[in-house]
C-alpha cells in the first residue's frame, strides 16, 4: 500500500512556482524570475502542505509516486497553475452603501471634497457603528467568498470604521470569527486612526487611539477575543500628520504589531521617510511619494503596497511603480477593497498594475503573491509553490498563465484550492 495524499494536479502546461527559494523577495530586481516548470505536477499532503512539485517525467521515476493514492486527482493538461493570490490591503468589514458617492466622483467631486462633507469614511463609520456583529460578519463572509473564487487565499483586512474603542473591537471580533469559519487566511490590522471622528481634532483622536484604543485592543488580544497582526494609520493632510502617525504607529509596534500604514496617497506627507525611520514593514498607496522616500524605503526594506484601483477610481496619477522597482523597493499589490474602490479581484489589480503602472506581467504576479505575503510576514507558508508551503493553488483555464491577467473582468480561473481543498465555485 502506497502513501496517501490530499490532492494531485497532474501534467499542468506550466506550474508557475514564483520562487525557487523562499528568499526571492529579498533578491531585489529579480521579479522577472518565475521558476516555471513545464508539464508538471503538484502533490499536496494530507496536512494541506505541498509535498512535491516536479515534471511528470521526473516524478514517475520515483518509487513513492508509483504507488501513491490521492483523495482528489485531476488531469490539468492545457491549464497553468499559480500560487494563491495574496491581497495586501483591504477594508472588508463595513455596512452601508456608497454607490451614490461613485456618481458624485464621476461628476467631478474629489475624495477629500466628499470626506469634508461628512461622506466617505464618515458615512461608513456611522453605518458600521449601528450594525450588529452578525450583520457585519455575514457581509464579510460573502466578500471573502468572492475574493476566494477570484484566487485570493491570504488577505490583509483592516478595522477602521469605528474610530472609537467599542466599534473597533467589534470589527476585530468580526475578523476573528470569520477567520475561525472561513478557508481564506486573514492578516488582521488595527486601524483606529483611519480618520478623525466627528467633534474631535486630530490631536485628540491621536490621544484616544494611543491611550484608550490600543490598550483595549491589547487586552482583548490577551483574552483571546481577537488577534491583531498589524497597526495602520491614514497619514494624510487634515487627518493624521507625521508626528501623530509616528506616535500611534510606534505605540502599536511596542505592543507587538507590525507597522503597515497608508501614506502619501493624496498629498506628499513624507511617509517613506517616516516609515524607514520607525521600522515600518510596509506602506500603502504612495501615489505622491518623494525620491527621498523611495530611497529610504529601498535601503530599509520597507515594502511598498501599491493599490492601482485607487488611482483608477479617483482619476489621479498612479504611484511611480517603475521608479520604485528600479530603485530596489520591494513592491507588493493590494485591491484596497473598500466602499470607495469596490474591487475584490487580484487578477484585475494585476491588469491595472501592468497597464496603468507599467509593471511587467511577471512583476505583477510576484507583487500579488510572494511580495504581498512577505509584506505581511507570511511568506514562510504563503506566496509561492514550494514544498512545505500551503497547497494554495489557482488553476488557470489556459495553457499560458498570463491569460489570468489578460482576460479582463471574468478571469479564466478553472479552480482554486486552499490547503489542498477545492473551493466551491
Q: Does 265 bind ligand NIG (CB under 6 A)?
A: yes
Closest contact distance (angstroms) between CB of 73 and ligand NIG is 42
Residue 306 CB coordination number (10 Å): 33
Instruction: Check the CA dihedral 197-202-204-210 and report its sign.
Output: positive
- Strands (E) located in 168-285: 185-193, 230-233, 258-263, 282-285
Q: Which stretch binds ligand NIG (CB under 6 A): 144-152, 216-224, 337-345, 354-362?
A: 337-345
Select the residue interacting with ligand NIG from 88, 339, 347, 420 (CB under 6 A): 339
Angle among Cα 218, 223, 229 to the nearest 5 degrees reads 45
Cβ proximity to ligand NIG: between 148 and 341 the closer is 341
Closest contact distance (angstroms) between CB of 265 and Fe ion is 8
Cβ proximity to ligand NIG: between 338 and 384 the closer is 338
Residue 288 touches which of Fe ion, ligand NIG, none (Cβ within 5-8 Å per kind): none
Taking a C-beta distance cutoff of 8 angstroms, is the pair 119, 105 a contact? no
Closest contact distance (angstroms) between CB of 411 and ligand NIG is 23
How many residues comprise the chain? 425
Residue 83 touches which of Fe ion, ligand NIG, none (Cβ within 5-8 Å per kind): none
What are 337's strand-pairing partners? Answer: 90
Closest by alpha carbon to 415, among 49, 5, 7?
Answer: 7
Q: Which stretch binds ligand NIG (CB under 6 A): 67-75, 116-124, 131-139, 177-185?
A: 116-124
Exposed/middle/buried for 184, CB within 10 Å: 0-12, 13-18, 19+?
A: buried
Taking a C-beta distance cutoff of 8 angstroms, is the pair 423, 415 a contact? yes
Residue 264 touches which of Fe ion, ligand NIG, none (Cβ within 5-8 Å per kind): none
Interface residues for Fe ion in 324-343 (CB under 5 A)? 336
Closest contact distance (angstroms) between CB of 90 and Fe ion is 8
Exposed/middle/buried for 267, CB within 10 Å: 0-12, 13-18, 19+?
A: middle
Rounded to whole angstroms, what are the CA distances from 184 to 150, 302, 390?
A: 12, 25, 12
Residue 281 touches which of Fe ion, ligand NIG, none (Cβ within 5-8 Å per kind): none
Select the residue interacting with ligand NIG from 156, 208, 336, 363 (CB under 6 A): 336
Q: Which three cell numbers mark 55?
A: 515534471
Closest contact distance (angstroms) between CB of 242 and ligand NIG is 16
Residue 407 CB coordination number (10 Å): 16
Closest contact distance (angstroms) between CB of 83 and Fe ion is 24
Binding site for Fe ion (CB under 5 A): 336
> Which parts of this chain interact with ligand NIG (CB under 6 A)?
91, 120-121, 124, 234, 262, 265, 310, 336, 338-341
Amino acid at each position: 500500500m502506497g502513501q496517501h495524499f490530499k490532492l494531485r494536479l497532474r501534467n499542468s502546461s506550466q506550474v508557475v512556482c514564483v520562487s525557487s527559494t523562499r528568499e526571492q523577495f529579498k533578491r531585489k530586481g529579480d521579479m522577472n524570475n518565475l521558476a516555471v516548470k513545464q508539464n508538471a505536477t503538484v502533490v499536496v499532503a494530507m496536512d494541506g502542505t505541498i509535498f512535491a512539485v516536479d515534471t511528470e517525467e521526473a516524478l514517475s521515476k520515483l518509487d513513492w509516486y508509483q504507488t501513491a493514492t490521492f483523495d482528489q486527482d485531476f488531469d490539468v493538461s492545457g491549464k497553468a497553475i499559480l500560487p494563491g493570490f495574496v491581497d495586501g490591503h483591504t477594508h472588508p468589514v463595513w455596512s452601508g452603501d456608497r454607490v451614490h458617492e461613485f456618481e458624485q466622483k464621476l461628476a467631478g467631486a474629489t475624495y477629500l471634497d466628499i470626506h469634508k462633507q461628512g461622506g466617505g469614511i464618515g458615512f461608513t463609520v456611522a453605518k458600521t457603528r449601528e450594525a450588529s456583529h452578525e450583520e457585519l460578519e455575514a457581509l464579510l463572509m460573502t466578500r471573502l467568498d468572492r475574493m476566494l473564487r477570484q484566487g485570493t487565499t491570504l488577505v490583509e483586512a483592516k478595522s477602521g470604521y469605528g474610530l472609537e474603542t467599542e466599534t473597533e473591537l467589534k470589527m476585530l471580533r468580526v475578523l476573528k470569527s470569520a477567520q475561525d469559519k472561513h478557508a481564506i487566511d486573514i492578516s488582521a490590522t488595527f486601524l483606529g486612526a483611519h480618520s478623525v471622528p466627528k467633534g474631535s481634532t486630530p490631536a485628540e483622536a491621536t490621544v484616544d487611539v494611543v491611550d484608550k484604543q490600543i490598550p483595549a485592543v491589547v487586552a482583548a488580544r490577551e483574552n483571546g477575543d481577537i488577534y491583531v497582526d498589524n497597526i495602520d494609520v491614514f497619514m494624510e493632510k487634515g487627518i493624521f500628520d507625521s508626528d501623530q502617525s509616528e506616535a500611534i504607529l510606534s505605540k502599536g509596534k511596542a505592543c507587538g504589531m507590525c507597522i503597515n500604514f497608508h501614506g502619501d496617497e493624496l498629498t506628499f506627507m513624507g511617509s517613506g521617510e517616516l516609515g524607514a525611520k520607525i521600522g515600518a514593514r510596509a506602506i500603502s498607496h504612495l501615489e505622491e511619494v518623494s525620491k527621498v522616500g523611495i530611497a529610504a524605503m529601498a535601503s530599509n526594506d520597507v515594502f511598498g503596497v501599491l493599490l492601482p484601483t485607487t488611482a483608477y477610481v479617483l482619476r489621479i496619477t498612479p504611484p511611480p511603480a517603475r521608479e520604485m522597482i528600479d530603485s530596489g523597493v520591494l513592491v507588493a499589490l493590494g485591491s484596497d477593497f473598500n466602499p470607495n474602490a469596490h474591487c475584490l479581484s487580484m487578477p484585475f489589480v494585476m491588469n491595472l498594475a501592468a497597464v496603468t503602472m507599467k509593471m511587467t506581467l511577471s512583476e505583477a504576479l510576484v507583487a500579488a503573491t510572494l511580495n504581498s505575503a512577505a509584506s505581511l510576514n507570511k511568506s514562510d507558508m504563503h506566496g509561492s509553490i514550494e514544498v512545505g508551503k500551503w497547497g494554495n493553488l489557482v488553476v488557470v483555464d489556459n495553457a499560458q498563465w498570463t491569460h489570468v491577467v489578460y482576460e479582463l473582468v471574468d478571469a479564466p480561473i478553472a479552480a482554486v484550492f486552499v490547503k489542498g481543498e477545492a473551493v466551491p465555485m
